[in-house]
Amino acid sequence: MIKRSTFKSVAFISSALLVSQTAGATDVEVTIQSLSTETIVGSSSSFPARLLPGESKTVKLNFPHNSSSVHVSYSTPTKTCDFEGWHRVYSPTNTKWDKEATAKGGRNNCFALQSVSRWSEPYDYRLTLQMTD
């Protein structure tokens, strides 16, 4: 049995409105997928606390229309994945999206996929965050 205290996890959401939605705001659909043979653990009330091997869960976040930033980490006793996804609107014709997945403790076993659902205001997009063995 794995002791829960051996897990390291961090989650941060910048300027997210989790319950109510704001008119003209960006919706970000975040799916966390455990492709690992181990249970993965996070520690944020905004994201699933743990996922069993092969399990996936989705969270919908809402941000002001001109920016979003999602940061979350998931861990097992031997590895941690730090995930990030964001968008910034510099002008109506200059919007940037990006994502990143960084592994700590072992090989690169973290992946982030981003797909834009709406290329104009409110700039909705999806993040799929995956952790493998």
Residue-level pLDDT at 24:
64
Look up tokens 């797909």; give the residue. 115
Residues of the chain with confidence (pLDDT) below 70: 1-24, 43
pTM: 0.78
Look up tokens 């994945």; give the residue. 81
Handedness of CA 31, 32, 35, 39 (dihedral sign): negative
Residue 114 and residue 127: Cα distance in Å, rounded? 5
Measured in residues, the chain has a length of 133
Residue-level pLDDT at 64:
81
Residue 84 and residue 71: Cα distance in Å, rounded? 5
Residue-level pLDDT at 92:
82
Pick the CATH number of 4-132 from 3.30.70, 2.60.270, 2.30.30, 2.60.40: 2.60.270
Residue 15 CA, chain-centre distance (Å), reads 14
Closest CA relative to residue 30, chosen from 47, 51, 10, 5? 47
Residue 124 and residue 21: Cα distance in Å, rounded? 13
